[in-house]
Copies of this chain bind each other. A is one copy, B any other.
Amino acid sequence: MVGMSLRHAVLGLLVDQPASGYDLMKRFNTSLANVWPATQSQVYGELARLADGGLIDVAAEGPRGRKEYTLTDAGLAELRRWLIEDKPEPRRSSALLRVFFMGVLDAEQAADYLAKAAEQAAADHAALRQLQDSLDWTEQGPLTTNGRLALEYGLRLYAMQEEWAQWASSQITSAAE
């Protein structure tokens, strides 16, 4: 058991508000979409396993077989444990992998690829900024605070990606002369 981040994403989303699998999917698709995407299939499976292991409980049952889960003390403890233990996981980046092998393209194609990457980063940046504007920052809860931190990370990342792609594009066009 080394990774298991999906498990902790589910636990984290249950901290303040109990939820059904259906509710959780909505949270995954909004707040966690850019951080830890998950499929419906995964979420329901993980909920069953977590309940089985006593990390969450079925607190209430509703219409259509709805099961509303809450975090148990053991679940909260597990989340805290995971947060504190630091394990820098390997990061895979297919974007960077492409950069590595860009040499098999001619200069024009490579520059084109980088230009598109810059555009994409700019678009992502704009989308995130819009999300930031649309959110209600009047609340002062702990989740709001940390959501802000994660959002700022995203903004900085996209800014960096755009600048880098522009720089890299200029490197290529100047080397092609």
Name A82's closest neighbour in chain B (CB-CB).
B98
On whether the beta carbons of B175 and A164 are closer than 8 Å, the reply is no
Binding stretch for chain B, among A46-54, A61-69, A100-108 = A100-108
Within 8 Å CB of A145, what residues of B? Answer: 103, 171-172, 175
Scoring A residues 93 to 129 as 1 if CB is less than 8 Å from chain B, else 0, what string do you get? Answer: 1111111111111000100010011001000000000
Q: Does A74 contact B (CB under 8 A)?
A: no
Distance in angstroms from A85 CB to nearest chain B CB is: 10
Scoring A residues 135 to 175 as 1 if CB is less than 8 Å from chain B, else 0, what string do you get? Answer: 00000011101111110111011001001100110011001
Distance in angstroms from A70 CB to nearest chain B CB is: 14
A83 to B95, CA, bound (A): 9
Q: Does A80 contact B (CB under 8 A)?
A: yes
Within 8 Å CB of A157, what residues of B? Answer: 157, 160
Interface size class of A (residues with CB under 8 A): 35 or more
Q: Does A134 contact B (CB under 8 A)?
A: no
Residue among B109, B149, B175 making CB contact with A168, cutoff 8 Å: B149
On whether the beta carbons of A83 and B105 are closer than 8 Å, the reply is yes
A146 to B113, CA, bound (A): 13
Within 8 Å CB of A95, what residues of B? Answer: 88-89
Within 8 Å CB of A101, what residues of B? Answer: 8, 12, 15, 79, 83, 146
On whether the beta carbons of B15 and A92 are closer than 8 Å, the reply is no
A residues lining the B interface (CB < 8 Å): 3, 5, 8-9, 12, 15, 31-32, 34-37, 76, 79-80, 82-84, 86-105, 109, 113, 116-117, 120, 141-143, 145-150, 152-154, 156-157, 160, 163-164, 167-168, 171-172, 175
